Structure formats: structure tokens, C-alpha cells
Structure 1
Amino acid sequence: MKKHAKIWIDLDNSPHVPFFAPIIAGLERRGHRVWVTARDRFQVAELAVLHGIPTIMVGRDYGRNKLIKISGLLYRAMQLFPIVRREKPTLALSHGSRSQVAAAKMAGIPTAVMLDYEFIDLSFPFSIDDIFMPDAIPEQAITVNCANIWRYPGIKEDVYVPGFRPGKGLLTDLGIPPNRIVVTMRPPATTAHYHNVKSEVLFQDVISLVARTPNTVIIMLPRDDQQREEIKETWGHLLEAGNMIIPRKAVNGLDLTWHSDLVVSGGGTMIREAAALGVPAYSVFSGVTGCVDRRLAETGRLKLITFFDDISRIAIRKKDRLHEARRKSETLDYILDRVEEVIGR
């Protein structure tokens, strides 16, 4: 008889919301109870509402200072601890939430951590029970102390992109005529421990290139309020001319990517969503390139802008029409099956 469990999911960053939405729905269809906490940073709260995920908001963004970040993550773990003790979940599941792992370990709850970048800092003073990661990453690339490693087929974005159905009217809502070349851009993650300043310089140069190209409009997606203000200060003339738009509220990232002619980002989820959808994708990430991005680049789904000379090779033009192909996600089913194996141990 299958064991029905109570699973605690923690949403620590904006990309975790669309990723976990089908996982939550799949676990509930299989008879498990899921409860969700979330960290109030970036667009997490807005996206959770957009995806219909009830959450308990705990903690916030702790900025760029490393010591303050560590202190904040530990403080958030202490905030989560009494909630975990009360709820008594069977399993704690997240995409690299350090606070969740710490709180779960203090409460004696098994932990399962998902990751898709092998160079992320997961330094814990204790072991993780299970790690889930794409099969593009070899087991030997993981240095954290872990009892079990599960390698799923495809990439993280393959969990939810196959079920995507594009909406209509997004560009109209943003005031963008259909004939313009839409370039969606997301700055590098400047608060991340793996950030390289070179990414910011490359990103600025790409903005300049796009701005010089006729009939283009940039949809800019700052990661936080500080980036928003910096962009307004540096590129205010593009905003005033209507050649750059910063959406006033969170938008469905997949929908925006689908309606874009190309996507340029400092790495991360949005660039891999574009690759999964077949939208021309360019990454200016200047940290150590992970196995997932290398595989996407080798298969032609992603172009890495590593050197300044690479910028001139960005093809700024209207993309070929995409074909909507809603399909079943084998990656999602694989993850759900393996999570149930973990629960059933």
C-alpha cells in the first residue's frame, strides 16, 4: 500500500514557483499533502499568487553583503523551525533552500534538495539526504555530503515547459506593436556568490547594441529594486523613448519568453526556458559554466556570450514562428516517482 505523506516545499527564489507548481499538483494528485513556505524576495509572492499556490511567507531578501546574507539565512531557519515542529512533515523539499535544510535538520526531518548548477555553494555542517539534479551533471561534480543522488532526464525547465500554453495579449498589454523586435533581458544575479563583474559589462554592451538596432524594444526584468533603480538611472533615455519597458508587475515568464524574438540574460532559469521553448537564447553569464548550459550550447539551443567580440554575433531579428506543442513531461513524472521512492524508504 502506497504511503501518503506530508511534504514541505520551500520557495526560496522566483524561478522555484513555476518549477514547483506542477510538482505540487502532481504530488497532490497522488494523494500526498503539500504545504508551502516562501521567502519574500524578488517576485516570489506575486508569482505564487499568479500560479495559485497558497504560501506562508517567512523571511526576506538579505542583500549582497555575505555576512548579512549568512546571518539572514540562519535567522530565517530559526523562524521556520517552530513551524516545522508544529507541522511535522514527512519530507522537506526545495531547490537549494539553505534555510529549509537547516530548519529541517534541527527538527529531524529528511531533506531532499534539487539543483541544476553544480558550482552553487551548498556548504552545510551536516549531510543532505537526497539530491535531485539533471543527468547532464555527473555525480562526481557534487562535493556536498549527500546520502543519495538522483539524476533526472532533461533539464529543470522540462518539468513545466511541456505543459505551457501561451496566452494572448501580453505584448498589447505592454503597449508593444506586433511588428517590433522584442528583446527580453534579465540582468546578472549580482547578489549571488558566483557572480562575476564581467557579466555586468557584457550585459551593458548588449543593451547598447540592441538600442542601436532599428525597430527594437527591450523588455527589462530587474531581479530586485536596486537593479531597477540602477537601470532607470543608466538607461532612462530608453525608457522615456519607449525603447525599453520595465513591467510594473510580475508577468508569466514563459508567456513573455514565448512572445519574445530573443532572450538575453546573465544566466539562470529564463535563459534555459527560452532554450526549452526554442526561442533564440544568449547568456552573458561569466562565472564557471555549468554542465547544463554546456550541453544546451553543444546542442545549439543556447549561445554563450563569453567574449566582447561575441556580442556582434547576436542575431537581432524577428524569430521564426513557434509551434505550440503541449505535451506530457517525462521529467516531471520521473521526479514524482523518485520523490515517492524517497518517501517510501
Structure 2
Amino acid sequence: MSRATFTASELDERPSTAASNVRETVDVWVDLASPSHPFFFKALTDSLSNVRTTVTVREKTETVPLTQQVGYAFRTLGRDYENPHLRKIGIPLRTAQLALKAPRADVALSSRNAMCILAAKARGVPSIHFTDNDICASVDGLKAEELYHRLEAQATHNVVPEAFRAEVLTGRGADPDRVHTYDGYKEDVYVAAFEPDPAFVDELPFDSGEFIVVRPEALSATYVDADGSLVPDLLVGAVERGIDVVYLPREASDRKFAAGLPEDRVFVPNDPLSGLELAWHARCVLTGSGTMAREAARMETPAVSFFPNTRISVDRALIDQGEIFHSLDAGKILDYVESVTDLDAEPDRTRARRVRREVAGLTAGLMNDLMG
């Protein structure tokens, strides 16, 4: 495994507008497959000099509108399916679409995305893959999921947080010398680039200006094995305690959890809202998955995870460090929310900016090596 060559003091001294120098102009293909990807890759590519970026996007929940929001020009190729059986068909189908229709490029960038890696390999394009997921799936015997993660490891280079168990990638066939680590988390990269809008709270219906965010578990995902959601208990409990909630359903079926609750206390937006804006302005962020909890934690907003299964290493590290509170007990979670002080809820991006510079510098170095 390798690390970026910059020292911490050098990284802190480098201006963010010149974070990374790619020696010659590089045509970069970025493939976005999930909602967090537009923010990560826009923040990363904006940090790199001498890159020309072409973007493809998979239709999956809010991925397309969020790609528009960050300002990328893009082409939509393929879609995700809520049905697990259709999803198995959708992934190889989209891989074939990418292999046939992907743009000409010198290097491909992706995150947790075997589709892009395989398509790039088929076209003779080297790939740089960013991942933080070192658990294959929570469902025993899910061979398709195991294969997908094994294919992710076939990228030319893999870039992972230090908290990631790198032996997972090498055990799946990755070259240890091409697994590169950085001191932080992938969410740091785009948290660092985020500029909050003070007027954002005006879009919300709460008189107090204080609220929490609740995002449900991804119950249809292959990596989640749960009998039901904790969200109904959280929403009812929040209303009973006088806590205002922005509730963000993942899928149409999640909307039923807010049915019958007062709309002036539990706000379900009709249009996508920026998760980063919500995390910046919220008193606390509660999520049944990992990404939103890590986004909040890395901007130093109190964060709660109620992910129901075995947690990936980056989540375990943040829980062990006290940056994320984890529980499957709605009462304990709401007790934690009520314990949050004004000082606790004061966000900051200083740490994230250091990590963004490190990741950008590492990526530029890999591109320079690939270009010879």
C-alpha cells in the first residue's frame, strides 16, 4: 500500500485553489452511480489542474438531479432498479452500455462502481477507484454481490481511507502496491468544498429554525437485512418531544412512515434538498445508512446512525472516535438528540479541507504516473 507523499504541514500550507498539479492535460471520464458521487467527484475534479472532464450518470434515486445541481454537464446511461432481481440484470446491462458508449478518456474515475471499472478495462482505459466499503453484503451466500465487489478490486488503482481494511481489496485480487490510503474519509472531500447558504432554512416550515434530519434505512438494498424500519418510532417520538423533523424518504414506499403526522412538525420535501445544507443547519442528522451520518460528522454536526447490520470499517472508526452515535433504540437516539448543546451543533470544515488537499494530491500523482 502507498500513501500520498505530502506531509501534514505541507498540505496545510498549500492553497486550495492549486491543490494538485497534473503535469499535462488529461481527459478524465467520471461515472456517477449513486447520490453521493456528484458531490465527491465535482469537489475532486475542481481541485485538479489540467483535466478535461466528461461525465456519465446512472439513474438512481437523486443521482441525476444532484449531478445537475453541482454543475456537471453529463450524459445519462442506464438505471438502477428497486427490485433486487431486476438489479442483477441492470448492472451487467449498464456495464455493456458503458463499454459501448463511454467517452474517449485517458483515465476513468469512479466510486464503488464495478460497472465503470469493467467498461474502462474493455476500452483499454486505466481506472482510479475510490471506495470505503469493506463489507460485501449482509445476506449470506449472495454470490452476485461478492462478484461485484471482487470486480471493483480490479481497478488500476484503488484509493481508500486509512480506516478501510485494505486486506479486503488485496484478498479480492488488488495489487497491494496499487492500494493507496489517505488520512480521513471520502466525505471530507466534498464537505471541504461546500459553501453553506444562510437562507437555506427559509425553505423549511419551522418557526424555531431548529430541526433534525431523518433518513430511513435502504431496506431494498442487498447490503441491508432488517425486518422493518426504526423510522416510525423516531418520527412519532420526535413529535411527542416537540422536535421538528425534515424527513427524507429514500423510496416512494418510505413516505408512509410520515402518514398522519403533523406536516408542520414532520416536513417531507417534494423536491430534493441538499443533504449538505441540511447537515450544516441541522441540530442533528439521523440516518439508517452511513453516508449522511459521515457527511454530518465530518462537518462536525452531531450524527446518529441506526444502520441495522454489520458496519463498514469507516463507520466503526467514527463510532469508536465518538463522531457518530449508533443505536437501534429510538428512545436512546432521541435522548441523545435532546442532549446536543449549541456548541455541539456548531459545524466546521477545517479538518475536511486538509483531507481534500491530500486526496487531490494523491489523485494527481496517480494520474501523472499513468500518463508517464
TM-score by length of 2: 0.82
- Offset from partner CA, 1:237-295 (integer Å, 9 cap, x none): 11x54221111212221111111111110122111111112222111001211211122
* 8 Å contact from structure 2 (residues 238, 334) kept in 1: no
CA gap of 1:331–1:234, structure 2 versus 1, over 3 A, is closer
Q: Map residues 150-169 of structure 1 onto 2, 5 A cutoff.
A: 150-169=180-199
C-alpha separation in 1, matches of 2:182 and 2:92: 30
Q: Map residues 264-283 of structure 1 onto 2, 5 A cutoff.
A: 264-283=286-305
* 8 Å contact from structure 2 (residues 34, 60) kept in 1: yes
Q: Map residues 1-345 of structure 1 onto 2, 5 A cutoff.
A: 2-27=23-48, 30-65=49-84, 67-84=85-102, 87-120=103-136, 121=145, 122-124=149-151, 127-142=154-169, 143-147=171-175, 148-178=178-208, 181-197=210-226, 200-214=228-242, 216-227=243-254, 231=255, 233-238=256-261, 240-306=262-328, 310-311=332-333, 313-316=335-338, 319-321=341-343, 322-323=345-346, 325=348, 327=350, 329-343=353-367, 344-345=369-370
RMSD of aligned alpha carbons: 2.3
How many pairs align? Answer: 332
Question: Runs ≥4 in structure 1, deviation > 3 angstroms?
Answer: 306-313, 321-328
Matched to 1:37, the amino acid is: T
C-alpha separation in 2, matches of 1:126 and 1:186: 30
CA gap of 1:317–1:163, structure 2 versus 1, over 3 A, is same
Percent identity between the aligned chains?
A: 24
SS at match of 2:95: helix
SS at match of 1:74: helix
* 8 Å contact from structure 1 (residues 78, 103) kept in 2: yes
SS at match of 2:179: strand
Unpaired runs of at least 5, structure 1: none
User: Mean Cα displacement is larger for which, 326-335 or 1-10?
Assistant: 326-335
* 8 Å contact from structure 1 (residues 13, 39) kept in 2: yes
Matched to 1:97, the amino acid is: N
Deviation at 1:329, TM superposition (A): 2.0
- Offset from partner CA, 1:185-220 (integer Å, 9 cap, x none): 11111232210215x433332223212112x22111
CA gap of 1:206–1:91, structure 2 versus 1, over 3 A, is same
Unpaired runs of at least 5, structure 2: 1-21, 137-144
CA gap of 1:169–1:139, structure 2 versus 1, over 3 A, is same
Matched to 2:195, the amino acid is: R
